Amino acid sequence: MRVHICAVGRLRQGPERDLYDDYLTRFDRTGRALALGPAQLTEVEDKKGGGMAAEATLLQRAIPDGALICAMDERGKVLTSPAFAAQLGQWRDQGRADVAFVIGGADGIDPSLRAQADTALSFGKMVWPHMLVRVMLAEQLYRAASILAGSPYHRA
C-alpha cells in the first residue's frame, strides 16, 4: 500500500526536515517487507492567497484517484500507536492501493475537503504546527511498521 503525505507548504532544510527524512527512510525500509510504502510527500502552496479553499483544491489534485483519504485534523480520532498500526494493516489487508494523509496549512483543512475524507486522525487535543505534524506522522508511520514487523522499537 503506497502512502502519500499531501501537505500545504514547503518543509525547508533544517532539523524538522532531517527528522522527517530520517523517519520516512526508516518507514520505507521497514514497511517494504510488509507491503507498506513507499511513502511520498507532495507539497502544495497557494501562491495567490486564496486561503483554505484554494489550498483544498491543490490538495485534492495531489491525492491519487481511489486513495483512502485520512485528514490530519484536531477534530479527528485519537489513536494509540498500536491502534494506528492495526489500522494501517487493516487498510492494507482490505486491498487499499493508496492512502493519502492530508495536512492542511496554518488554518487547517477546508471543511469541504475534510468532509470528503474517509477518516480523520488527531495527535491529541492540542493544536500542532502543520510542519511539525509531518514529522510526527512520519515517526508514527515508522513506529506502525515496526509494530507490525514485531520490532522492539515500540516499547509501550
- Domain of 139, CATH number, reads 3.40.1280.10
For position 130, what pLDDT does the model report? 84
Cell 498500536 maps to which residue? 82
Measure CA of the first residue to CA of the last residue in the chain; give whole Å.
26
Q: Is the dihedral of CA 146, 3, 81, 139 positive or negative?
A: positive
Mean pLDDT by 10 residues, the chain (156 residues): 97 93 97 96 90 95 97 96 98 97 94 97 90 95 97 82
For position 127, what pLDDT does the model report? 86
Q: Domain for residue 155, yes or no?
A: no
Q: Domain for residue 64, yes or no?
A: yes
Domain containing 13 equals 2-149
For position 152, what pLDDT does the model report? 87
Q: Domain for residue 94, yes or no?
A: yes
CA 50/CA 114 separation, integer angstroms = 17
Q: Domain for residue 109, yes or no?
A: yes
For position 15, what pLDDT does the model report? 92
Q: Domain for residue 141, yes or no?
A: yes
CA 48/CA 50 separation, integer angstroms = 6
For position 103, what pLDDT does the model report? 96
pTM of the full predicted structure? 0.95
Q: Domain for residue 27, yes or no?
A: yes
Task: Check: CB of residue 144 under 8 Å from CB of residue 85.
Answer: yes
Q: Is the dihedral of CA 76, 109, 96, 81 positive or negative?
A: negative
CA dist 96 to 42, 85, 92, 99, 140, Å?
Answer: 19, 15, 5, 7, 19
Q: Domain for residue 26, yes or no?
A: yes
Angle between helix 130-149 and helix 81-93 axes, rounded to 10 deg:
70
Continuous segment of H or E residues that includes residue 69: strand 68-78
Q: Domain for residue 115, yes or no?
A: yes
In the chain, how many domains are there?
1
